[in-house]
Amino acid sequence: MHNRKKLLLLFAILASLTVIALILRPKKMFDDPVCAVLESRDGRLLGARIAADGQWRFPASDTVPEKFAKAIITFEDKRFRWHPGVDPLAIARALRLNARSGEVRSGASTLTMQTIRLSRGNKPRTVGEKLREALLAVRLEAYCSKNRILALYAANAPFGGNVVGLEAAAWRYFGRPADELSWAENAMLAVLPNAPALIHPGSRRDALLAKRNFLLDKLCAAGEIDTLECALAKEEPLPEKPWPLPEIAYHYLETLRRQQGDRRYASSLDYVLQQRAEAVVGRHHDVFATNEVYNLAAVILDVHTGAPLAYVGNAGHTSREHGDNVDVVQAPRSSGSTLKPLLYAAMLDEGAILPDMLVSDIPFHYKDFSPSNYNHTFDGAVPARDVIRRSLNVPSVRMLHEYGIEKFIDLLQRLGFTTITRGADTYGLSLILGGAEIKLGDLATVYAALARELGDKTGESGGRNDAGGRRGLAPLSRGAVWCTFDALTEVNRPEEEGDWHYFSSTRKIAWKTGTSYGNRDAWSVGVTPDYVVAVWAGNCDGEGRPLLTGVGYAAPVMFDLFNLLPATGWFEMPADELEEVTCCALSGHPATDLCAADGLTTVLAPLAPRRPDPCPYHRLVHLDPDERWQVDGDCWPVSEIRHVSRFVLPPAQEWYYMKSHSSYRPLPPFHPDYAGYRKSGAVEIIYPQDGMQVAAPVALDARSQGVVFSAAHSDPDATLYWHLDGTYLGETLHGEHKLRVVPEPGPHTLTVVDANGHSAAVQFTAR
């Protein structure tokens, strides 16, 4: 009767606790620091960082592997699935055993109560604390499922040393995720929270082995495993030492932590591709280090989502030397030539150029800026598409000057370059040559966005409507992007580095390289309809190295990374956003009637509100029958004059153009009696340019070496006469019009005159 009263009292207490628990909703139970955990797109662990309190504690998962659930329930709380948070039968058993022995020999804590105890910081086990745990356990059961409670316990239970939670324990002790562990491994982890110190080496390991095997026997008795499984499981050894956690995509996780804190990150990274990309980058990094190029980064994006599939922030990060801790994918670096295709696309889009239209490539000076091509030569005039294929600096600067710096900055910002934040006065025309800093991640994202826009067949991303206005809000039309990518597909071409390089690839790729001033940054970016690969090589401390160029360092890495990817097709031509334009075969301008003599060609160009001027270089000239002289009716019988269409460049362009175009025919000279011999435009001063400041080099004896002035004349046999501030300097002839001059400091006027009175003049300042 006495025992019956005790049981009734116990049930009354439990009923009261249940009522109170149902009234009070539980608050957040665990607020301990957690590890930063990075997972691949299929849920595999890429990396983890220890929590702020020095514990390996992974963020809680919603599920627990079935084997561990059965093992922990069998070991700790066999009626877990049925009781309401406290187990009356276990309490009765504990009271009976403890009463018999006269001391506490057995507890009655359920897994739910142990979860509550963990959340309260393992407070001393007093009667009052036990009652609180029981109350809170009932409340927890009222609001959480059994699986959720088990997951909370598994995520916060101690597993020895600084290992907290099942997931961290599985990786630290077995180097695998918890759902891949064997019965023996799960049994070992199930007994550890009850006595976490047993994991340490020494005699305690025998006790751990005995407890594990005891649990395996219980699992066998409960029918969870058969006798053979039990015997084989007992043969498995205990782990010898903790495993290091993976460090795949090291910098990606570090960047995510810096931006969003420590938590679980389910990324878009492809587990296998990430590892293979790191291997490719690592191989090249080892070679580059022999030239003291220590940093190398790469990113592979999925065009359709814009998300990274592989992310190598910096090769060799394990050494922690040479700035290896820097995530170069997110680091602003000088852009080199990587922005040139975007200027080309923008000018195509507004109709300022056509793909084959000639752009001047002669010495150019603007204020204090005098760009030069990589190989320090000039072609006179080059087709616009060759400007980006060959990454020519001088024509690119001229194109930017025509397009407008502020307008180009606005375009780059709308495209997504987050580090281009200053104005035209700060960047100047050097913006197109690397005067701005960009991120490798932004570069890849911009190219992916353009490819995605081009793949959008609905026209919602951009393009133009029938009236010539833009559809949507995309910065560049699909037609302009297609023309630009088409120009960048040629893989055998001279780059800004001045040499010919050939990269073998079985797929069609639009790609661009870049090299910053002083060989500090080497870039390469390539795009297909499905993927973008972007690579940077250099030194994080900004030290330049000989031969460090985009085509020599970054491009080989890029092509090796493309070889890891599935082959793709090519972009479908957006025919509704392109039109055929009949152009002069030589100038690339819209053709005139005079162009037909040298041939016409048809090019595809984006629909645009305007077109460049008709060909300005073909003109009708009047020659004698032998085409030795330019003549008119005053010096030759009109009936014998030949009226011929000829392609004629301005003198300075012509002078350089003839050196690389043997088929170019300059006009014959004027007949001595030609009445229009004073017509302007025959003479052009190449250097110095108007408004320029010039400085003469000084020899070791402190004497000035002078400045070499140069000019061009449409007549290769002309003689030019040079004057400085009205004082005669000398004459030059036979096409090589160069004269060394030692000007006094200050402003000057240089005048050049030919024998027929044609002249040109510039003002400059000598320093």
Q: What is the pLDDT of residue 303?
A: 97
The pLDDT tens digits for 551-566 are: 999 999 999 999 999 9
Shortest CA distance to 151 belongs to which of 226, 58, 277? 58
Q: What is the pLDDT of residue 319?
A: 60
Please compute the mean of the pLDDT values over residues 330-359 and round it to a whole number: 96
Q: What is the pLDDT of residue 498?
A: 41
Q: What is the pLDDT of residue 410?
A: 97
Q: What is the pLDDT of residue 16?
A: 64
| Per-residue pLDDT band at 591 (split at 50, 70, 90) | very high
| Per-residue pLDDT band at 105 (split at 50, 70, 90) | very low
Please compute the mean of the pLDDT values over residues 670-693 and round it to a whole number: 75
Domain residue spans in the chain? 2-235, 329-575, 618-660, 683-766
| Per-residue pLDDT band at 471 (split at 50, 70, 90) | very low
| Per-residue pLDDT band at 468 (split at 50, 70, 90) | very low
Q: What percent of the chain has pLDDT above 70? A: 86
Rounded CA separation 265/275 (Å): 18
Q: Decide if pLDDT at 173 tops 90.
A: yes
Q: How many CB atoms lie within 10 A of CB 406?
A: 12
Instruction: Phi first, then psi: give them for residue 602, nearest 5 degrees.
Output: -115, 130
The pLDDT tens digits for 357-395 are: 999 998 887 777 778 888 888 999 999 999 999 899 999
Q: How many CB atoms lie within 10 A of CB 323?
A: 16
CATH for the 329-575 domain, from 3.40.50.300, 3.40.710.10, 3.40.1800.10, 3.40.30.10: 3.40.710.10
Q: How far is CA 591 from CA 103, 611, 747, in A?
A: 107, 11, 43
CA 657, 660, 665, 666 torsion-angle sign = positive
Query: Bridge-partner residues for 623, per DSSP?
Result: 630, 642
What is the pTM assigned to this prediction?
Answer: 0.85
Q: Which CATH superfamily is domain 2-235 in?
A: Biosynthetic peptidoglycan transglycosylase-like (1.10.3810.10)
DSSP assignment of 64-104 equals --HHHHHHHHHHH-TTTTTSSSS-HHHHHHHHHHHHHHTS-
DSSP-H helix ranges across 308-363: 340-350
Shortest CA distance to 95 belongs to which of 104, 83, 87? 104
Please compute the mean of the pLDDT values over residues 195-202 and round it to a whole number: 73
Q: What is the pLDDT of residue 240?
A: 86
The pLDDT tens digits for 391-419 are: 999 999 999 999 999 999 999 999 999 99
Instruction: State both tokens at 412.
Output: 């780059």
| Per-residue pLDDT band at 349 (split at 50, 70, 90) | very high
Rounded CA separation 473/567 (Å): 31
| Per-residue pLDDT band at 474 (split at 50, 70, 90) | confident
Q: Decide if pLDDT at 263 tops 60.
A: yes
- Report the interhelical angle of 166-174 vs 146-156 (nearest 10°): 50
Q: Find out whether 446 and 484 touch, Cβ atoms under 8 Å.
A: no
Q: Which CATH superfamily is domain 683-766 in?
A: Immunoglobulins (2.60.40.10)
Rounded CA separation 710/733 (Å): 12
Q: What percent of the chain has pLDDT above 90? A: 58
Q: What is the pLDDT of residue 196?
A: 84
Instruction: State both tokens at 429.
Output: 């025309």
Rounded CA separation 309/664 (Å): 50
Q: Decide if pLDDT at 500 tops 60.
A: no
DSSP, res 698? B
Q: Decide if pLDDT at 680 tops 50.
A: no
Shortest CA distance to 640 belongs to which of 651, 652, 626? 626
Rounded CA separation 591/599 (Å): 9
Output the CA torsion 326→332→337→338 (10° steps).
90
| Per-residue pLDDT band at 205 (split at 50, 70, 90) | confident
Instruction: Specify the DSSP element, H or E, that contains 20.
Output: helix 2-23
The pLDDT tens digits for 613-663 are: 999 999 999 999 999 988 888 888 999 999 999 999 988 888 889 888 989
Q: What is the pLDDT of residue 557?
A: 96
Instruction: Phi first, then psi: give them for residue 706, nearest 5 degrees.
Output: 80, 175
Q: Decide if pLDDT at 23 tops 80.
A: no
Instruction: State both tokens at 318.
Output: 């394990």
| Per-residue pLDDT band at 175 (split at 50, 70, 90) | very high
Rounded CA separation 333/331 (Å): 6
- pLDDT averaged over every residue in the chain: 87
Q: Decide if pLDDT at 753 tops 90.
A: no
Q: What is the pLDDT of residue 43?
A: 94
